[in-house]
Amino acid sequence: MKKLLIISCLLIAINFGTSCVDSKIQDTEVKLVTAEEMQSILELEDVQLVDVRTPKEHNKERIANSQNIDYNSPTFDEDISKLDKAKPVILYCKGGKRSAKCAKKLKEAGFEKVYDLDGGISKWKHSDKLKIEVKS
């Protein structure tokens, strides 16, 4: 009976220990979001929406209210340092590669919440989920 009690206590301790580890890992990860999830986040939180494409791409078409920080710019690191690390950031690019690289850099720099639009603007520009501004 004593062995059963000890084993039960160990299992409970292991369960609590791993659940805490999982939540810490989740906090350090970048969350891929759909356009619909992105809209919900934009409505519920004070978010920094960042387009990491080139200025030319951003001027041609962009998600409404996004700011442009070119991932390939020589001033990229300086530009992202001006963002608020405590505020959530949603990133997007054309297809998802640049925003994924940027998301990794932001997490390494200590940003608390980083979201990445799954598939970039190309995947969602024809849906009714995003408000896209197009230069005429």
- Catalytic residue list: 93
Residue 39 belongs to what H/E stretch?
helix 35-44
Distance of CA 30 to the CA centre of its chain: 5
Q: Dihedral sign for Cα 93, 95, 100, 105, please.
A: negative
How far is C-alpha 71 from the geometric centre of its chain's CA atoms? Answer: 15
Burial state string for 45-65 with b = 16 or more CB within 10 A and e = fewer than 16: eebbbbbbbbeebbeeebbee
Q: Are 116 and 92 in contact (CB under 8 A)?
A: yes
